[in-house]
Structure 1
Amino acid sequence: MGEMIEKGKINPRQFSILTLLFSLGSTILIVPSALTSIAKQDGWIAAVAGVAGGMAVIFLYSMLGSRYPDQSLMQYTEAILGRWLGKVACALFLSYFFILSALVLRNVGDFITTIVMPETPIQVVHALFLLAAVMGVSLGLEVIARSSEIFLPWIAVLIIVLIVFLIPQIQLDRIQPMFETGVKGIIHGSLSVLSIPYMELVVLLMVYPYVTKPKKIRSAFMKGGLLGGVIVIVVTILCVFVLGWDFTARHTFPSYTLAKKIQVGEFLQRIEVLVAIIWFLTIFFKLALCFYASILGMAQLFRLRTYRPLLVPSSIVLGVLSIVVYPNIVYFRVFAAEIWPFYSLTFGLFMPLLLLTVSALKPKPPADGSSAEPKEKIH
């Protein structure tokens, strides 16, 4: 283990917090819109179905990760599929991590330039946010995990405040008629929760070998994913009950608009900045983890001793990619609803399933030599 590129270790609790923040990342802001545009007022049922499916996906990841406790996704993909096929699969995974990082960064840019500061060039927003992520990644996994522990209580308080103050605004008749879109609409809608964030959690298989107490990783992973899912369901329910499904479906960032509805007497208004803060904090961790997985994976693929030299060039490429990844916010809505779920299914479900199946059919390596191979590889 000493030969590993990443020297840091995180505990299962920190892993759980990172999973939670990752699953809230872009999800709370963009998913309610995608859900309701497909499943209409049954968007919240689609969210529940999506979270249930998401838990199964996390279970699949933890089965794969626990088969190779000392190796990251890059290392055992090569071990399972053989050298050349493994390298191709690794390169595909890396492209997915990198495109995901670019999309997450673009989400931030779009949000700030359409809602918060419309006059600011999107490149400036991206550069500032990237700078923070690069600093985080250069300090390593342990620092990212510890800072997530510091921010968690603040994020929790802000989410609770948001939910409590919106309860008086709920209009229950907005839920009817139930099951109008039928099972097909609900399943189609649930795909948007499955693809953002659950299928994207495959990124965390790069972090898996650095978590202490391997026996507790699965429950930590499931706990973080479930908590994130519950918050997404609650936010979707609030969007449907307070704004109505049609309004939610029309807006790109409905949960931000949702917070504008909060009014307590004459003194507590314009509280939507809370949602912006929750979102900036959670999406920072999502971006940091995606970018970290990309460059750690690159370093492992090319057998480098450290990922540090890759930081600056990769961040420049990422900055450019985030501008060209989709032309405008209108296109993004189609992309998030129609294209991304199937792209995510490829890397978030089919590839991990393939790896698990092949590794189950292969004879298990001997216990004493199991971790000797990756040491060789990194040297």
Structure 2
Amino acid sequence: MLEKEKISLRQFKILVLLFSLGSTIIIVPSVLSAFAHQDGWLSAALGITIGGAVISLYVKLANRYPNQSFMAYSELILGKWLGKCISIILYLYILIIASLVLRNVGDFITTIIMPETPIQVIHFAFLLIIMLGAGLGLEVIARAGEVFLPWVLLCIGVLVGFLIPQIKVERLPPILEISTKAIIHGSLSVLSIPYLEMIVFLMIYPAIHTNLKKGKGFIQAGFMGGMIIFSITLLCIVVLGWDFTARHTFPSYTLAKKIHIGGFIQRIEVLVAIIWFVTIYFKLVICFYSSLVGLQQILGLRTYRPFIVPSALILFALSFLVYPNIIYFRDFASNIWPPFALTIGLFLPLGLLIVSFLRPVSRLNK
């Protein structure tokens, strides 16, 4: 169990929204445009729609075992040993997500903001505040989300508002010029980042203090995050052009550099940096916390806190092994990660749901 920590449905929705934006808004537009060109916004819409169906699958599975985490009801459904194997697979998956997110932080800072700073220093500094957040627990993380969300939404609103004069609608046509296959392939990027990663929330879903409408809240928060991702992708295409967006690893950061109003409002890319740092912090701390709780449940211990420092060290090392450099990351995010995420984030919970219908819900769930 989650050490009896409880959060409200509103706090859970905030965490889902922040998680969905972390790393996605600054990376995914480039991959979408590389595949679907000016139809990248269609790929985003398709991926968000399928992502909503994936969240519905998670809700269906979690609601059958409302008081248990994913790892707990894996053992109820499949038995102790096979369920334990599934739990280990999910734990490794969450750990890999966390290492990828940490590497995204290092790549962004050393490429755009502080190119002379060793990436190891960036990773170490960011891990310190991640360890602090995980040590304070889920309730504190959720309350922090409530504090930061209004500022994130304000920055997004200001960014979108100031970019309206820069929009060139003629960059959208011809619509559907690219093949349907390319649009579908592009949609896998936004599906795998972040929707197939949201299986992480099945570890903290039981911590919501009410069972009323929490599945609906999960879906709503995922949809809201998707709308922001869609808007940023569309803005990148109509302001920067699909070719420019596809060439740059962090196009939404470049997007803010285009803002020039009255000769004195310009170079406010700090807004994108604020949005990204806040949202990616919450994504990473949620993944790190969930991995700790997962390890606690796999080993059958009362607390996860003794694992904070060892897990952080493992995460630090793993962040340098997931992919060799930022140039390789584009190929990793578009061709390697989607099928892996589909296997763990879709087929695994779908299989568990099917098996759960073939077996009666355990009394342990009551």
After TM superposition, the score normalised by the length of structure 2 is 0.99
> Which amino acid letter does the alignment assign opposite residue 181 of structure 1?
I
What is the Cα deviation at residue 283 of structure 1? 0.3
- Count of residues in correspondence between the two structures: 366
Aligned partner of 1:370 in structure 2 is 365
User: Is 2:337 the counterpart of 1:335?
Assistant: no
Q: Distance in 2 between matches of 1:119 and 1:236?
A: 30
User: Is 2:173 the counterpart of 1:150?
Assistant: no
Q: Distance in 2 between matches of 1:152 and 1:6?
A: 26
2:352 to 337, 352, 355: 355
Aligned partner of 2:134 in structure 1 is 137
Q: Distance in 2 between matches of 1:166 and 1:218?
A: 35
User: Is 2:48 the counterpart of 1:51?
Assistant: yes
Alignment of 1:44-193 (within 5 A): 44-193=41-190
> Which amino acid letter does the alignment assign opposite residue 117 of structure 1?
M
> Which amino acid letter does the alignment assign opposite residue 106 of structure 1?
R
> Any idea what the Cα deviations from partners look like across 1:118-165, whole Å, max 9, x if unmatched?
000001111111111110010000000000000011001000000000
CA RMSD between the two structures: 0.8
Q: Distance in 2 between matches of 1:146 and 1:132?
A: 16
Asked if the contact 2:167/2:235 (under 8 Å) is kept, the reply is yes
User: Is 2:26 the counterpart of 1:29?
Assistant: yes
> Which amino acid letter does the alignment assign opposite residue 9 of structure 2?
P
* Unaligned runs of at least 5 residues, structure 1: 372-379
User: Is 2:317 the counterpart of 1:320?
Assistant: yes
Aligned partner of 1:6 in structure 2 is 3
What is the Cα deviation at residue 6 of structure 1? 2.2
> Which amino acid letter does the alignment assign opposite residue 186 of structure 1?
I
What is the Cα deviation at residue 363 of structure 1? 1.8
Q: Distance in 2 between matches of 1:182 and 1:12?
A: 41
Q: Distance in 1 between matches of 2:36 and 2:365?
A: 47
Q: Distance in 2 between matches of 1:338 and 1:28?
A: 19
Q: Distance in 1 between matches of 2:26 and 2:95?
A: 21
Aligned partner of 2:299 in structure 1 is 302
What is the Cα deviation at residue 7 of structure 1? 2.1
Asked if the contact 1:5/1:307 (under 8 Å) is kept, the reply is no
| 1:215 aligned counterpart, secondary structure | coil
What is the Cα deviation at residue 217 of structure 1? 0.9
Q: Distance in 1 between matches of 2:35 and 2:20?
A: 21
Aligned partner of 1:374 in structure 2 is none
Q: Distance in 2 between matches of 1:6 and 1:38?
A: 44
Q: Distance in 1 between matches of 2:165 and 2:365?
A: 58
Asked if the contact 1:5/1:305 (under 8 Å) is kept, the reply is no
Asked if the contact 2:2/2:207 (under 8 Å) is kept, the reply is no
What is the Cα deviation at residue 277 of structure 1? 0.5
Q: Distance in 1 between matches of 2:272 and 2:342?
A: 29
Asked if the contact 1:49/1:190 (under 8 Å) is kept, the reply is yes
Asked if the contact 1:12/1:217 (under 8 Å) is kept, the reply is yes
2:287 to 278, 286, 290: 290
> Any idea what the Cα deviations from partners look like across 1:271-300, whole Å, max 9, x if unmatched?
001100000000000000001111100000
> Which amino acid letter does the alignment assign opposite residue 356 of structure 1?
L
What is the Cα deviation at residue 197 of structure 1? 0.3
- Percent identity, aligned pairs only? 60
Aligned partner of 2:268 in structure 1 is 271
What is the Cα deviation at residue 219 of structure 1? 1.4
Runs of 4+ that moved beyond 4 A:
none
Q: Distance in 1 between matches of 2:290 and 2:178?
A: 38
> Which amino acid letter does the alignment assign opposite residue 145 of structure 1?
A
Asked if the contact 2:64/2:361 (under 8 Å) is kept, the reply is no
> Any idea what the Cα deviations from partners look like across 1:162-183, whole Å, max 9, x if unmatched?
0000010011111111101122
* Unaligned runs of at least 5 residues, structure 2: none
Q: Distance in 2 between matches of 1:217 and 1:285?
A: 20
